[in-house]
Amino acid sequence: IASRWRSSFQDSPRPKHDNDGTVLTYKFHLEMASLEDMPHSVQLFMEQVHHGLWDGCAFVWNPDHLMLASPHVHAEQLEDGTFDIYEDDDKREDFIETGYTSISFQEYSDNMPHKQYTLGFAGRPGGPNFYINMKDNTRVHGPDGKTGDIETVDREGLEGDADPCFARVVAGFDAVDRMHALPVNGEGEGWQRNAFKDDVFIRYAKILPNKK
């Protein structure tokens, strides 16, 4: 059943507008991995969506190989024109209060490699930040891969473990590609250089009925 569970995301960048003044929106659908392959990660993400924890969060980081969503948003613009991407807009507290912050272990299945348009949890331990793989990142984010390009909380014994890959995009590929084409800062150090110039805010994420 889990392989047919779907989630829907609707995102909009702020303050980007179309010619008629309406906010640009991007909508895409996800299909969860099988519970036989990734039970822990799928449950965590579905609980996050069920409790509305991703509503009001944002995609904040946009390097060449992925797009990262986080409870942290660009709440403050710095004097040099870049953004403090670590500014906490109190969204992470919602995850902490519900207990759905991160996975308990670095779950991974060879049946869910980090192919293009799949989703993975970032960090050690993984979550709540997640990313969409914009190219085949199996070598980088899979077993024994190097995950230093994503900020992690170092935990002894977890350095060589893979990032959990728990879902894949199944509809709205054009929307994901258009999001990935949005401009980044292009300046600053480390994270700031590839941060979205304007956050792509998540209006809502919801669980869709199973397809028969």
> Could you write out the DSSP letters of every residue in 37-88?
T-HHHHHHHHHHHHTTTTTT-EEEE--TTEEEEES-----B-TTS-B-TT--
Amino acid identity for residue 53 in this structure: L
What value does the mean pLDDT take over residues 10-33?
Answer: 69
DSSP-based three-state secondary structure for 93: helix
Segment 55-104, tens digit of pLDDT: 988 999 999 999 999 997 654 555 555 445 444 456 888 999 999 999 99
| pLDDT at 112 exceeding the cut of 60 | yes
Segment 114-139, tens digit of pLDDT: 999 999 999 988 999 999 999 999 99
